[in-house]
């Protein structure tokens, strides 16, 4: 059984009421419930934290014993060298998740301080992106960590 940590950045506590045309109607509580259920089905332990505080997220990263991280840095995506440095320091595999497609939004939202150090990014797929990230974590933790290479090899 692996330990998976889900971190939700600022303003994600307002999901379901905040800009539903951009972020949908599902609440963070509902997303977390779906994640906990799927983690249980896959045989993993999951913990989740949402914070509007960069310091709290950083402290959680420093203290984590997780084997894998699912991270939606939200607005910190475009600003937080502190969180980037924390992720580099702990050297844990992670997937960056965004509910909206950051590349279809304002130009200042199209830069991420995390994408180049993440295993991968999922954006624009709504709340389902979290579940896809969890499914990928399961594959990664099962030892099949080069899925693209495996798919390309199979196609040839």
Query: Is residue 39 scored above 70 in pLDDT?
Result: yes
CA distance 50 to 147: 29
Residues annotated catalytic, as ranges: 23, 98
Q: Starting from the edge strand earliest in sequence, which strands make up the sheet with 68-72, in order? A: 45-50, 3-8, 68-72, 94-98, 120-123
How large a percentage of the chain has pLDDT more than 90?
71
Q: Give residue 14's pLDDT band: very low, low, confident or very high (50, 70, 90).
A: confident
């Amino acid at each position: 059984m692996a330990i998976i940590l889900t971190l939700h950045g600022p303003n994600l506590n307002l999901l379901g009421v905040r800009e539903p045309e951009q972020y949908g109607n599902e609440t963070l509580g509902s997303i977390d419930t779906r994640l906990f259920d799927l983690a249980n089905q896959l045989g993993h332990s999951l913990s989740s934290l949402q914070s509007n505080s960069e310091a709290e997220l950083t402290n959680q990263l420093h203290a984590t014993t997780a084997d894998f991280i699912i991270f939606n840095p939200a607005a910190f995506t475009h600003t937080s060298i502190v969180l980037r440095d924390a992720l580099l320091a702990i050297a844990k595999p992670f997937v960056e998740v965004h509910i909206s497609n950051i590349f279809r939004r304002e130009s200042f939202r199209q830069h991420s301080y995390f994408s180049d150090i993440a295993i991968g990014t999922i954006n624009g797929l709504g709340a389902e992106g979290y579940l896809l990230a969890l499914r990928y974590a399961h594959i990664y933790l099962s030892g099949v960590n080069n899925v693209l290479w495996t798919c390309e090899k199979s196609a040839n």
